[in-house]
Amino acid sequence: MAVSSPRDKYFGVWLIFFMLGLGTLLPWNFFMTATMYFTSRLKDSSVVEYSANQTEAEGEHRSPLEAKFNNVMTLCAMLPLLLCTCLNSFLHSLISQRLRVMGSLLIIMVVFMATAVLVKVPFQPLPFFCVTMVKIIIINSFGAVLQGSLFGMAGLLPASYTTPIMSGQGLAGSFAAFAMICAIASGSELHDAAFGYFITACVVILLSVISYILLPRLEFFQFYQQRNRNQNPEEENSVNLMKSESKGEAVDANTQQDVSMIKIFKKIWLLAVSVCFTFTVTIGTFPAITADTRSTLGDGGSWERYFIPVSCFLLFNLCDWAGRSLTAACMWPGKDSLVLPVAIVCRLGFLPLFMLCNVQPRLHLPVFFSHDGWFIFFMILFAFSNGYLASLCMCFGPKNVLPHEAETAGAIMAFFLSLGLALGAALSFLFRALV
C-alpha cells in the first residue's frame, strides 16, 4: 500500500471496541444473572417480601411461571437476536452506522432505566412476567443490531480488532455476575439490591455511548473509514459485491448481492456452521440446565446462597472471557485445520455431563455427579472451550475471504452466531425436560 496506516495511539480504538463489545452483551447478561430477583416476583401473591438471605430450597414447589422463566427468557432473547441480526445485514446499507449504533445503545439504556423504576412498582406475577419478556425482546432486538454493526465496523479494521469485541462480550457476563454477587452480599432486601444492580447497568451503557462518540475522532479509525469510502462507489453501495463474471450482462444489484453472499459463504461455511454449533450447545445447556443445579454441600448457609451466582454465572463468564481473550496471544488450531470443528463437536459431551449433575427438580435421569466439585470442573472446561473456540471462528471468518469481502463475511458470521443462540434457546426446552 502506498499509504501506511497510523498507529492506534494508547490502544484507544482497541479499548473503545472492547467497551462496545461489553455494551452489546451486558444487557442480556444483567437480565440473565438477575433470575433470583425475577423469579422472586413470580411467586404466589402471598409472598410479599423476599429477602436476599432466602435460598431456593423450595425449588420443587415453584409456580409454573417460575419453573419456565429461564427457558422462556432464553427463547425471548435469542429469537429476536437471530431475526434482527438477519435484518441488520440488509439494513446496514440503508441506515447509517451512527444511527444504528447510537440508537440501539440509547434504547437499551432507556429499557434499563425503566427496569430499575419498575423494581419499586408492585405487579401481579403474570403481568410482571409479560412485561419482563417484552423488555428482554427489546434489548436483544437492538442488541443484535448493535452487535451486527460492531462486527461490520471491525471488518474494516485489521483482523485483530475482532478480539476486543469478543473479549468485551466475555467480560460482560463476569461484570453482571459480580454485580449480582455484590448485591446479594449487601444483605439488603432483594428488591433494593436489584434497583442498584440495574442502575449500574445504565451507567455502563452510558459509558459505551460516550466511547462511541469518541471513536470517529481517533486518527486510526478515521484512516480505515476513509479508506473504505475511497473504494469504488458501486462496490460500496452494493455492500462490497463481487464483480460480475460476465461484464456484458446487465445484472441488477439484488441478484449481484445474492451471488456474492453465496460465494463468500462457500469460503467460510465450515467456520460459520462451527460457531453456530458452539453456541447451540452452550445456550441449550446454560442457563436452562446449569442454573437449576443445587449444591449438595450446603445446609441453607452462605455456600448454598452463593452457589449458583458464583459457580454457574461468575465462573462461566470468567472462563469464557479467558478463552476469548487467549485468542489475542494464541490462535491454535489454524483456520484450515480440521481439529477446530472436531473440538467443537466434542463439546456435545457436556450436555449429558451437566444433566447428570444435581439439577433439581428432575424426573427422568439419576444424579451421577452429585459433588459440587464435578459441576465446577465441568463448568470451567465448558466455559473456556466456548469462549476460545467461538472467538477463533469469529476471527478466522473475515481472514478466509478477500479484503473487500471482509465486512460481508463478518455479517455472515454474526448471523450464524445468532442462529446458534436461537437454536440453543429452542432446544433448551427439550434438554431440560429430559433431566
The answer to whether residue 232 sits within a structural domain is: no
Q: Which three cell numbers stand for residue 66?
A: 417460575
398 within domain boundaries: yes
Place of cell 440453543: 424
Instruction: Give, in degrees to the nearest 5, the angle at Cα 152 between 108 and 332.
Output: 110
Does 251 map to a domain?
no
Give the number of domains in the chain. 1
Q: Which residues touch 225 (CB under 8 Å, ≥6 apart)? A: 156, 216
Convert the pLDDT of each residue in 203-232 to its tens digit: 989 999 999 999 988 888 888 877 766 754
pLDDT of residue 232: 44
Is 239 contained in some domain?
no
Residue carrying the nine cell digits 440446565: 289
214 in any annotated domain: yes
Q: How much is the mean pLDDT over the chain? A: 81
Structural domain includes residue 51: yes
CA distance 292 to 121: 28
In a domain, 264, yes or no: yes
- Specify the pLDDT at position 290: 93
Kindly report, residue by residue over 131-181, the tens digit of the pLDDT: 999 999 999 899 888 887 887 788 778 767 877 887 888 788 888 888 878
Q: What is the CATH number of the domain that holds 97?
A: 1.20.1250.20
Residue 241 lies in a domain: no
In 3D space, the residue among 220, 215, 240, 228 whose CA is nearest the CA of residue 4 turns out to be 220
pLDDT value for 251 = 44
Amino acid at 39: T
Structural domain boundaries, residue 141: 10-226+257-434
Distances in Å between the alpha carbon of 318 and those of 17, 172, 191, 313? 19, 9, 26, 9
Measured CA to CA, the distance from residue 136 to residue 360 in angstroms comes to: 25
